[in-house]
Chain A
Amino acid sequence: MIWQFDIIILIFLVVAAIVSLRLKDLLGASMVFGIYSFLICLLWAEMGAVDVAFTEAAVGAGVSTVIMIATIFSTTRRSKD
């Protein structure tokens, strides 16, 4: 466990979370959400929870981003609020 590495990932995690909430472009927001999932997967792996990290990488960063992007193509790309 390297604490400098943890702090860097944590800062990026918070930034990614805020950006994905604030973005009006839904496509960009779901991409940033994929980055968020990948960062939290790194954090899980770093804390020794390898199974959880694997699930997060496969489900969170992989399939759910694809499914969200596929859904956005059927709706409007800009968020109303």
Chain B
Amino acid sequence: MKVFGLVAVFVVGLLLLSATQDFPSWGNPRSAASDGEVSSFYIEKTEAVTKVPNMVTAVLADFRGYDTMFETVVIFIAGIGIIAVLRNFEGSDSSIDYDNDDNGAGLLARFTCSLILPFIQIFALYVVAHGHHSPGGGFQGGVMLGASYILLALAFGLSKAKRIFSERRTMIFAVVGIFIYVGWGVLCLLLGGEFLNYSVLDSILPGDAMMARSYSMLVVEIGVAFTVTAIMFSMYSNLSTRGRLSKGL
């Protein structure tokens, strides 16, 4: 069986290597991907029609808004799936004994974490808020914000982190994130445009239709960040405690 697997990997690898011969060379402006009508529209017109300098975020949150919306739903479903498989209500009581359940790290680790945690969270919020002007966005900022709560749980014990970010609050955050994204799309519908066509929102937002698209990208990034933060922390707390949500790492 092992030999068969090795041969299969070797053959498929050779096929893939031979397929790279047909790829356009790196950075070739005449390649099919960068010569098409769609790519040149994004490259030339993004800043003019959306007032957003970061093309990647503009494509993710505006031109391909549906894609990102269901990507967020996929993350939500992954979190729900982990809870459905792992969550064990028998080992944990609803009223957690906070004093008895503390197994954080040593003094130095706690002190260092309490020093750097605020900076991690500020930077995460900056990445979310500035995602349409610099690299970053809802996914990256949300992951960093979730990681800051994971660090809190590692340094001070899961019970302390759960006092701030309880299971109920986690799930509310995850649902609110998707609600913000979908609700923003429905708001476009109510104002007479298509679903997620942000330019009709200029009647309720300051500025013209282009600024409305820029602001809307910020709103949907915030929605994504809510869901990703909550699901990352929920994944960690369920996986590290086998679903008991007490006495973790």
Name A's B-contacting residues (CB within 8 A). 47, 50-51, 53-55, 58-59, 62-63, 66-67, 70-71, 73-74
Q: Are B239 and A63 in contact (CB under 8 A)?
A: no
Q: Are A74 and B135 in contact (CB under 8 A)?
A: no
Name B's A-contacting residues (CB within 8 A). 26, 54, 56-57, 127, 135-137, 139-140, 143-144, 146-147, 150, 154, 232, 235-236, 239-242, 248-249
Q: How far is the CB of B222 from chain A (nearest CB, A)?
A: 17
Residues of A within 8 A of B146 (CB): 63
Q: Are A74 and B239 in contact (CB under 8 A)?
A: yes
Residues of A within 8 A of B139 (CB): 55, 58-59
Contact among A51, A59, A74 for B143, CB-based, below 8 A: A59
Q: Are B143 and A71 in contact (CB under 8 A)?
A: no
Bound together, the chains give a CA A62 to CA B143 distance in angstroms of: 9
Q: Are A73 and B240 in contact (CB under 8 A)?
A: yes
Q: Are B235 and A55 in contact (CB under 8 A)?
A: no
Residues of B within 8 A of A58 (CB): 139-140, 143-144, 147
Q: Tell me if A's interface is mostly helix, strand, loop or mixed.
A: helix
A70 and B249 contact, Cβ closer than 8 Å, known pairs A62-B147, A63-B146: yes
Q: Are A70 and B240 in contact (CB under 8 A)?
A: yes
Residues of B within 8 A of A71 (CB): 239-240
Residues of A within 8 A of B241 (CB): 74
Residues of B within 8 A of A53 (CB): 135
Contact among A59, A63, A74 for B150, CB-based, below 8 A: A63
Q: Are B240 and A74 in contact (CB under 8 A)?
A: yes
Using A47-B26, A62-B143, A63-B147 as known contacts, list a sample of 14 further A-B pairs with CB atoms less than 8 Å apart, ordered by residue number in A.
A51-B56, A53-B135, A54-B136, A54-B140, A55-B140, A55-B143, A58-B139, A58-B144, A62-B144, A63-B146, A63-B232, A66-B147, A66-B236, A70-B239
Bound together, the chains give a CA A63 to CA B237 distance in angstroms of: 12
Q: Are B137 and A51 in contact (CB under 8 A)?
A: yes
Bound together, the chains give a CA A73 to CA B242 distance in angstroms of: 10
Q: Are B249 and A73 in contact (CB under 8 A)?
A: yes
5 of the cross-chain contacts (CB-CB < 8 Å) are A55-B140, A58-B139, A63-B232, A66-B236, A70-B248
Contact among B26, B137, B144, B239 for A67, CB-based, below 8 A: B239
Residues of B within 8 A of A55 (CB): 139-140, 143
Residues of A within 8 A of B248 (CB): 70
Task: Closest A residue to B151 by CB, please name it.
Answer: A66
Bound together, the chains give a CA A29 to CA B126 distance in angstroms of: 33
Q: How far is the CB of B68 from chain A (nearest CB, A)?
A: 13
Bound together, the chains give a CA A62 to CA B232 distance in angstroms of: 11
